[in-house]
């Protein structure tokens, strides 16, 4: 049913437009609602905290108690989004990596243009190191603008003389704020989420008076030598396709260990649609396997190896009433893709014909 799943995802994204050229107050509210459209798994605990002076959200998963940490940067064009809003995707990755996650609440543009976000990200990483977590137990992860911030922070850490983390994962990264990649035009018709106009608006908000080609604004143009192993995931139906491809090529030319993972016919940050898209689950599984291999975590032999949770675990950790009242469920219901047999033996089987098995909790949406 993968084709039906992809069509459902494209419909959902197209019917939920985000206008980054309008009043950002309204866009921030809508984006926050989309990020939290489906509740987190009940075994995920969020705690507001700080790293140094930087606000963060600590993301802990019951049964996972290791020293490995995923430092997570949310997307939103550097202008919208929040650490708590990104917790769904962060927890999906952390669960599979058998790690805990910390999402960074970096300052947003246009109120706080560059270098606010990169300063906050570096300060959070420095404070995490100062807390006693060794760099080899840390991985960075982020989606969209947060993926770009991951890569900019790696460059910034190198400039500051800090050790690199063990590895980094970026999903649909925005790495060229000059917006000169060819896919801005060649993939525009296929992309249901982003437009070149969105990227131009967000680039202006974030760069401010800075040169958009500055490597800490557009990490594509940085010196990539010495970066840690990278996993770059992207969908073919997005205008940021060439950001991922070109960054991977430049990283490889700089002798960086890099894996480029392109999934056909899926949109921007498709990993956030794991509840209804098999390709999203598979991509998250590959991300988890990548981090486990980097952290040296055995796939078997621990109580929770970071593998995808079982159907029963998902059933136990999902609030079905919240799922049924979510934007996701309403959209699928309109398309005839949602079953109404709430008393089914497997409560997570409600997504009929869309999921190829148990669905994932915590659908989250990414943009820019």
The set of catalytic residues is 144, 238, 268
* Other beta carbons less than 10 A from residue 1's beta carbon: 15
Give the list of residues 6+ apart from residue 117 with CB closer than 8 angstroms, or none: 78, 106, 107, 108, 109, 149, 206
Sheet of 258-263, strand order: 44-51, 54-61, 100-104, 69-73, 138-143, 167-171, 230-235, 258-263
Calpha distance 100→129 (Å, rounded):
15
Of 48, 52, 97, 44, residue with least CA distance to 70 = 97
First to last CA, the chain: 28
Structure-derived torsion over alpha carbons of residues 344, 350, 352, 358, reported in degrees to the nearest 10: -100
DSSP string, 26-62: HHHHHHHHHHTSSPPPTTEEEEEEEETTEEEEEEEET
Task: Decide if 306 contacts 98 (C-beta within 8 A).
Answer: yes
Q: Per the structure block, which two tokens stand in for 365?
A: 């949406």
Element (H, E) at 97: helix 87-97
Phi and psi angles of residue 185, each rounded to the nearest 5 degrees, phi first: -95, -45
74, 222, 315, 339, 352 from 343: Cα distances, Å:
36, 55, 12, 11, 14
Task: Decide if 70 contacts 291 (C-beta within 8 A).
Answer: yes
């Amino acid at each position: 049913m993968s084709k039906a799943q992809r069509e459902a995802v494209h419909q959902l994204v197209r019917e939920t437009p985000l206008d980054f050229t309008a009043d950002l107050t309204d866009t921030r509210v809508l984006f926050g609602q989309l990020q939290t459209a489906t509740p987190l798994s009940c075994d995920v605990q969020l705690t507001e905290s700080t790293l140094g002076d930087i606000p963060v959200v600590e993301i802990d998963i019951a049964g996972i108690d290791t020293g490995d940490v995923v430092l997570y940067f949310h997307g939103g064009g550097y202008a919208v989004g929040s650490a708590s809003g990104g917790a769904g995707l962060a927890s999906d990755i952390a669960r599979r990596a058998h790690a805990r996650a910390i999402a960074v609440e970096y300052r947003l543009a246009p109120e706080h243009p560059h270098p606010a976000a990169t300063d906050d990200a570096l300060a959070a990483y420095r404070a995490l190191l100062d807390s006693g977590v060794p760099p080899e137990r840390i991985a960075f992860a982020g989606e969209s603008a947060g993926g770009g911030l991951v890569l900019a922070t790696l460059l910034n850490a190198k400039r500051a003389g800090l050790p690199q983390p063990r590895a980094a994962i970026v999903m649909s990264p925005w790495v060229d704020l000059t917006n000169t990649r060819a896919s801005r035009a060649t993939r525009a018709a296929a992309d249901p989420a982003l437009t070149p106009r969105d990227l131009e608006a967000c680039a202006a908000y974030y760069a401010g008076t800075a040169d958009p080609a500055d490597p800490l604004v557009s990490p594509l143009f940085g010196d990539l030598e010495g970066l840690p192993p990278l996993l770059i995931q992207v969908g073919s139906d997005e205008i940021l396709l060439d950001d991922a491809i070109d960054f991977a090529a430049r990283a490889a030319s700089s002798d960086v260990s890099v894996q480029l993972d392109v999934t056909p016919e899926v949109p921007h940050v498709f990993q956030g649609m794991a509840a209804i898209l098999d390709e999203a689950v598979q991509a998250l599984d590959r991300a988890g396997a990548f981090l486990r291999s980097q952290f040296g975590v055995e796939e078997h032999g621990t109580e929770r190896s970071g593998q995808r949770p079982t159907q029963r675990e998902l059933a136990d950790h999902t609030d079905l009433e919240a799922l049924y009242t979510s934007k996701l469920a309403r959209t699928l219901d309109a398309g005839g893709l949602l079953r109404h047999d709430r008393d089914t033996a497997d409560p997570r089987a409600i997504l009929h014909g869309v999921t190829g098995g148990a669905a994932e909790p915590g659908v989250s949406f990414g943009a820019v």
